[in-house]
Structure 1
Amino acid sequence: MKFQGSLRNRIILNIWIAILPLAILLGYAIYDMRAYYTQYDQIVTNITSANAYNMTFKQEVDEEMYQIVIGSANWTNPEEKLKYVDPYATIDTARAQFQELYDDTEDSDKRRRLRTIIRLMNTLEDRVDDILKNVEEGGHYDENMTSFTMNIQILTEITQENIQNYIYYEAQEMEEVRAAVSASAFRDLRIMVALLIVILGFNVILSRYVSDKVTDPILELCDANERFSQGDFSVRVEMNNRNELDQLGESFNTMVNEIDFLIQDIKREQKNKRKMELSLLQSQINPHFLYNTLDTILWLTDSGDKENAVKMLTSLSSFFRSTLSKGRENITVGEEIRHVQSYLEIQQFRYHDILEYEISVPEEMHHYYIMKLSLQPLVENALYHGIKNKRGKGKISISGWMDGLDLLLFVRDNGIGMTEEELTNLREAVDGEGQQVKPVDSGHGFGLRNVQQRLKLRYGEEYGIQIESTYQVGTVITVRIPRLVEGDV
């Protein structure tokens, strides 16, 4: 979503207003300083190059020519004359250096001074040439000495003076550049300080404006959030900032709506859950079951079988004590097994001729927790819809084992079983999404559906019961729940 005057754009604009003028001024200052630096560096290079010949050029040329004139350097010997002294090379090297300085400069005054130095070196080379020709001819000692004194020494003196003048001129220009750099830096500093003051003043005003645009809606959101945290789910915020805060307000309103819906949904689920628990408890306190059990106890008493009457009465007491379990929703697997055992003991008194049972759940599973009344409805279903519909004696087996982080409990019977069609109808009744599902037959599927819904509601969709059955063979109901200890429930 894009906003016309988004906070991001305003903040970026504020930053650019602060940075851009300073960046432009800084760029100009850098460019200006670079120009001065280039000029300053060229002057230093020129002075260094010229200074290399300031003190040595005259001395070297004079000494070499003097040795040639007096004969110390044997110039007439082709093999020896260039071995120790070479005035031509000294002059050529210096002239080439000053010619390079001449070519690199565009300053007319510098070029004039350098041109004079080069011309002096050309003239000096001519006078050196005159003396060397006389030396090669021989017999011109006095003339050569006069020429050395009057020409060579005077020309090298004049050349050295011109080199010194050139260096002095460059040094003056260096001072001018230094002064210009200092003045430019001071000028740029004053401009930057003045510009900084203006920018700071503008930014204070702009920041206050942006801050109000940000903090006022945030304060409104905080107030709405405070009311919401106190339970007011009718609170809503209205914003017309045309920026990201509008989206934040919309998100807040959406969150409140969704939380309100979830709370209402949880209330409905809790209400349904209580209805299911109440229905299950009512099914456990079935008056027919209670009447039949009490009639059996009375019959045993009348017949003098007081021992079995006491056992049956004890099992009935244990059964209802486990059913209520002091209002607890979760009990241990061991307690649930004892509840089922009490139920089977009571039913075995009544159906001793058709019912056998076996419970083989490992002891290491007994301390884990399970929702109460998770197994008894399955055992009841196995008895009334499996064993009783079969001719002859039947058996109900309860077993279990641990599967990773889950517990698996099995309720098996070798009763009548179900056809494929009956099994499909029962699964649809147990797993149906609607609140009212037509049972397969009278009462068949209600207890299983109740257990399925409670397990999925409590543990999640991956848990619950799974039914497998084969006609004339029997039925197996598998219960999958997570391994939970006391601190997890």
Structure 2
Amino acid sequence: MLKKGIKKIYLDSSLAAKIRLSYFIMVIPILIFIAIWLIYFSEYNKQYDKLIYNTSAASAFSIDFKKEFDDKVYLYIIGSRSYEEANLLSDIENAKSVIDNIKDIKDTKNSMPRIALIEKYLSNLRKYVEIIRTNVEKGNMYDKNMEIWENDVQVVTSLIQETILEYLYYETKEIETYRNEMNRVFGQMIKGSILLIFFLMVITFVISFAIPRSITKPIRYLGRITEQVSQGDLTIRSKIENGAEVKILSDSLNQMIQRISDLFETVKIEQKNLREAELELLQIQINPHFLYNTLDTIIWLAEAGKHKEVVSTVGALSDFFRSSLNQGKDIITIEEETIHFTCYLKIQQVRYQDILDYEINIPQSLGKYLIPKITLQPLIENALYHGIKNKRGKGKIVISGREEEDKCVLIVEDNGIGMTEDRLQQVIECMNGNGLTKNDFYGLYNVNERIQLKFGENYGIRLHSIFGEGTRVEVCLPKRSI
């Protein structure tokens, strides 16, 4: 019973708990081994570091201190250098700073007596330098100064040099002693490490089968489930009863499969509704008022006896509807779109010949690229009814295009009334679907939305307008051809 209870607790444990257990089994012996040797090495390391630091600090003392200092004093005595050039006290201070660095380190058995001697010698050396300086300033004391230099200065510098070398000798001997001891201990550590590695290899071999198997088995099972789901089987479900995270993952996977199944049905319905909405949108774009007004215009032209204009207008209207329907295709070429809006402009110019003029400057090289059907006609309609008609006098609509690196841009520009900055911002927000109502700029919103649905959010409409000057609408499309 106890064994079964422990097994159930282990199986129901989280993945993190199982991984921690495997780490514990492998790491605890290593930690114990490291703790033992860290304690053992601690004292040796402290003493060794102290000796190394002492030796390093003492090594900063110039080996040529005696020769250099004696020469400077001699040159100063004979007048070849001034006191400032000789800089004797600075050399003494530098030597003193080296000794002070050594003093800051805790005492070793041979260091402090020699350090005290060196400090005493440096102090005497400073006194002799001061005496020589005083004699030089008095003048006629050359023999006296030479006597001090030979009998005092050179003797003291020799003593300093010998004491430093003696200090380094004893420190080096102690380093050697500690190094031999550490080598002995290091050898013992290697033997202990070999035994520990062997023990850990045995433990690792055992747990490398037990713990990973309990972790990977349910994950492999979930992998097979997800593979079947990726192949389209949405009827399969995961059945895992043990393991904290894996059970949660199993339940979440089942919920996700069910959700995907529901979404498939929803998408089918939405695709059908979207197609119906696009057909309804196409009918909305062919404004019945435009048809009525065009027919009235044709009647008026016939009554006026303008038979050529009647033929031209009827032909344009026929081409307009033919290109609007275009065998039910949603995406057409820019060349086909140009035919469609040109027919629209021809018809509208007959009606508004007193106020409307237009110009089409789309390069032939753009004609092969694709565009959602009935994209430019709603923009031209906006330019006419919201721009040109609200301005006094005759207006002009210019439709142009240009190529950029990875896209093409079609431009509908008018010199109508334009928009204020507040009005422009309102139009842009409505075009992006913010605060849109049924009749507010639906054409702009619809054109922008259709472009982004077909080609992505990097494409669509950009608006520019200045009140009293006009409006420019840029339609950004990718360079995609049939």
Question: What TM-score do you get using the length of structure 1 for normalisation?
Answer: 0.52
Q: Deviations over 1:277-301 (max 9, x none)?
A: 2343122332211111112122222
Q: Deviations over 1:434-454 (max 9, x none)?
A: 6xx137xxx451100111111
Q: 2:287 matched to which residue of 1? A: 286
Using the alignment, how far apart are the partners of 1:338 and 1:328 within structure 2? 15
| Aligned AA (1:427) | I
Contact 1:417 1:474 in 2 (8 A): yes
- Secondary structure of 1:294's match? helix
- Secondary structure of 2:358's match? strand
| Aligned AA (1:422) | R
Using the alignment, how far apart are the partners of 2:12 and 2:339 within structure 1? 67
| Aligned AA (1:421) | D
Q: 2:415 matched to which residue of 1? A: 414
Q: 2:458 matched to which residue of 1? A: 462
The Cα shift of 1:350 comes to 0.6
The Cα shift of 1:309 comes to 1.0
Q: 1:304 matched to which residue of 2? A: 305
Using the alignment, how far apart are the partners of 2:475 and 2:400 within structure 1? 10
The Cα shift of 1:403 comes to 1.2
What does 1:184-203 align with in structure 2 at a 5 Å threshold? none
Using the alignment, how far apart are the partners of 1:265 and 1:433 within structure 2? 25
Contact 2:368 2:481 in 1 (8 A): yes
- Secondary structure of 1:240's match? coil
Q: 2:349 matched to which residue of 1? A: 348
Kindly name which structure, 1 or 2, has the bigger radius of gyration based on alpha carbons.
1
- Secondary structure of 2:463's match? strand
Equivalent residues, number: 297
Q: 1:479 matched to which residue of 2? A: 475
| Aligned AA (1:362) | P
Q: Which runs of 5+ in 2 are unaligned?
A: 1-10, 26-205
Q: 1:328 matched to which residue of 2? A: 329
| Aligned AA (1:242) | G
The Cα shift of 1:7 comes to 12
The Cα shift of 1:9 comes to 6.9
Contact 1:333 1:366 in 2 (8 A): yes
Q: Deviations over 1:370-402 (max 9, x none)?
A: 111111110011011111111111000001101
Distance 1:221 1:265, change over 3 A: same
Question: What TM-score do you get using the length of structure 2 for normalisation?
Answer: 0.52
- Secondary structure of 2:319's match? helix
What does 1:322-471 align with in structure 2 at a 5 Å threshold? 322-433=323-434, 437-438=436-437, 443-471=439-467
Distance 1:266 1:305, change over 3 A: same
- Between the aligned residues of both structures, percent identity stands at 42
Using the alignment, how far apart are the partners of 1:415 and 1:284 within structure 2? 23
- Secondary structure of 1:239's match? coil
What does 1:28-177 align with in structure 2 at a 5 Å threshold? none
- Secondary structure of 1:407's match? strand
Contact 1:228 1:235 in 2 (8 A): no
Using the alignment, how far apart are the partners of 2:450 and 2:267 within structure 1? 14
- Secondary structure of 1:398's match? strand
Q: Deviations over 1:131-158 (max 9, x none)?
A: xxxxxxxxxxxxxxxxxxxxxxxxxxxx
Q: Which runs of 5+ in 1 are unaligned?
A: 17-201
The Cα shift of 1:404 comes to 0.8
Contact 2:413 2:471 in 1 (8 A): yes
The Cα shift of 1:236 comes to 3.6
Q: 1:51 matched to which residue of 2? A: none
| Aligned AA (2:449) | Q
Q: Deviations over 1:290-331 (max 9, x none)?
A: 111112122222332222111111111111111111111110
The Cα shift of 1:219 comes to 6.0
Using the alignment, how far apart are the partners of 1:461 and 1:268 within structure 2? 24
| Aligned AA (2:464) | E
Using the alignment, how far apart are the partners of 2:429 and 2:245 within structure 1? 49
- Secondary structure of 1:424's match? helix
Contact 1:339 1:376 in 2 (8 A): yes
The Cα shift of 1:466 comes to 1.0
Distance 1:271 1:470, change over 3 A: farther
Using the alignment, how far apart are the partners of 1:356 and 1:237 within structure 2? 69
The Cα shift of 1:210 comes to 9.1
Distance 1:279 1:474, change over 3 A: farther
The Cα shift of 1:348 comes to 0.7
